[in-house]
Structure 1
Amino acid sequence: MHATGLITHLRHVDIAMPNFADQRTFYRETWGLTETANDSGVSFLAAEGSPELYVVRLREDDQKRTDLIAFGSASPADVDTLTEQLIGRGVTLVHEPRVLDTPGGGYGVRFFDNEGRVVEVSADVAVRAHRKIEERESIPVRLSHVLMNTPTPEVTVRWYIENLGFRLSDTMRIGDREIMWFLRCNTFHHSFGFVRGPHAAFHHASFEMRGVDEFMRGTGRLHRLGFERLWGPGRHRAGDNSFSYFLDHAGNTVEYTTELEIIDEDTWHPHIYDLTDPANADQWGTANEMDEFIAARSHNDVDRGLFIAPPM
């Protein structure tokens, strides 16, 4: 039996790194997020168009790591139901459901996935007064999706489907080798996913822009400021969303995107797209050619936080 429908949406991604000051400046002043809370060596950053109190948490640490990926649930009862199912399947908890002491509070559980990432699922978290992003305003509306690298993608994708109720939207392959899996927890084509890589690590976080014009203005701003653009601008086949990928100050890949596909759960059937057809990577044909050297930049460093709970 799968845990169907107990996760409703992606909340935030929490990352740690030694160069905290540089990262904080990048996400606030360059990427376009708004700091809603801070403490010594910790910054909570919101997207202006999102009701989430924060979509990125930065934390200063001697080692670079992914602290956790957080998802929402509809109610505390659903958090408890999910926890019972996880315990019954032998999943190791970081902590049992409890009142959270992070901004917004709420009620949540944390646990390790099969590769040691920390996952949080919470409900009753306070929301913030967000706003409509204006025309030509090139800042993120919301956190769109997060993808992670994994050396065991078939096992890990199955783990998230069976234990957390994610659904497979589409798969990418090169020839006969599958390399990328897009997972959904609502009607957005994907909120989470996995990329075949040499080790478990953060792959990229993607931020939805108001529209194509705002997406291009944000892309151009980063380019003019001298930030390395890995790939883009272009438009993917899977998800039908635009893309421009950059590196932040810690070497994590971040993406501006827009117009991510909304799917009909009753009629959707997963596709397998072969990237040997360049139109499956970029429908517009405007992006620089993706090659193994560019792809390797998003393999990232080995995640030092596996099976280690973050300090907060």
Structure 2
Amino acid sequence: MSTRLLTHLRHVDLAVPDYAKQLDFYAGVWGLTRVSEDDGIAFLAAEGSPEQYVIRLRQADDKRLDLISYGAATPADVDTLAEHLLASGVQLITRPDTLPTPGGGYGFRFFDVDGRTVEVSSDVAVRAHRRIEERESVPVRLSHVVVNSPDITRTRRWYEQHLGFALSDTIGAPHTGDVMNFMRISSQHHSLGIAAGPHASIHHVSFELRGLDEFMRGTGRLLRSGARLAWGPGRHLAGDNTFSYFFDPHGNTVEYTTEMEELDEDTWHPHHYTFLDEEVSDQWGTANAMNEPLAKELHNDVDRGLFIAPPV
């Protein structure tokens, strides 16, 4: 799609068997704010974000990614995108209409090439939010989401063709081929990452903190809580952002980050980095080494929700 209609990442919705434990984690040590809850569904906001919520949790028998939600500027843009997807043979789950979720808005849902549910919406009411203060180590906003795909080139091309994403950088190596594509819909280096994996699943969900001090304080709080650190703290080369990855109670990976690179889209040319260079993974050299067992854990479980629309 030549015209970019998406503006930003709104929220990521997860379904989990142990709903209470997951809710305690995100509304507790992770630092999100519980804004609404009803009959096994909870909506959690980031205090610094105008979005109504950045994570939705749903009680379910199977662990799955329910959906990834992106914003559009106007209802007309929502309609234009829906028409484009229909004309291109993309399977729509719903047609553009008023949304029943907190903040309302106008949007629709569809399946991406791997079977994930994606939602696009406009005119969602702005949530009352606030400035995050110095040393306050709670998420300011949702930063980005990374998904696993068995064919990252196909998935990248689909997002470029249908949703107007642009490639910012790629990581790979001669013996593996490409293993990560970083995709953008704004000057932010990436709001979507596509990682090579044996199956489609969620790789990680990332939350922006106020600054380096808040990032380290948040990392320390998670460590003291007994949450399992997967990887970090460190600083990536692609995106130049910091990272501390933790596993949530159901084995999904969540990240604290800050200082994501803002690039000049008119002059930017994608890099092709090799992960054989240690500075690509971690410029600081402070994180634990990425190894094959850890990489397999980051592939997560097979997503049980592919090409199955969430019930709500």
- Scaled to the shorter chain, the TM-score interval is over 0.9
SS at match of 1:187: coil
Q: 1:30 matched to which residue of 2?
A: 29
Q: 1:135 matched to which residue of 2?
A: 134
Q: 1:72 matched to which residue of 2?
A: 71
Q: 1:89 matched to which residue of 2?
A: 88
Q: Which amino acid aligns with 1:270?
A: P
SS at match of 2:62: coil
SS at match of 1:280: helix
Q: Which amino acid aligns with 1:302?
A: V
Q: 2:119 matched to which residue of 1?
A: 120
Does the 8 A contact of 1:3 with 1:85 survive in 2?
Answer: no
Q: 2:271 matched to which residue of 1?
A: 271
Query: Which 5+ residue runs of structure 1 have no aligned equivalent?
Result: none
CA distance in 2, matches of 1:208, 1:193: 15
Query: Which 5+ residue runs of structure 2 have no aligned equivalent?
Result: none
CA distance in 2, matches of 1:77, 1:50: 24
Shift of residue 3, structure 1, vs aligned partner? 4.4
CA distance in 2, matches of 1:96, 1:208: 32
CA distance in 1, matches of 2:21, 2:147: 23
Q: 2:163 matched to which residue of 1?
A: 164
Q: Which amino acid aligns with 1:148?
A: V
Matched, 1:229 2:229: yes
CA distance in 2, matches of 1:199, 1:61: 21
Q: 2:289 matched to which residue of 1?
A: 289
Query: TM-score, with normalisation over the residues of structure 2?
Result: 0.99
CA distance in 2, matches of 1:45, 1:137: 18
RMSD: 0.7
Q: Deviations over 1:159-201 (max 9, x none)?
A: 0000000000000113351100010011110001210001000
Q: 1:111 matched to which residue of 2?
A: 110
User: How many equivalent residue pairs?
Assistant: 311
Shift of residue 4, structure 1, vs aligned partner? 2.2
Q: Which amino acid aligns with 2:207?
A: F
Q: 2:100 matched to which residue of 1?
A: 101
Q: 2:181 matched to which residue of 1?
A: 181
SS at match of 2:29: helix
Shift of residue 22, structure 1, vs aligned partner? 0.3
Query: TM-score, with normalisation over the residues of structure 1?
Result: 0.99
SS at match of 1:94: coil
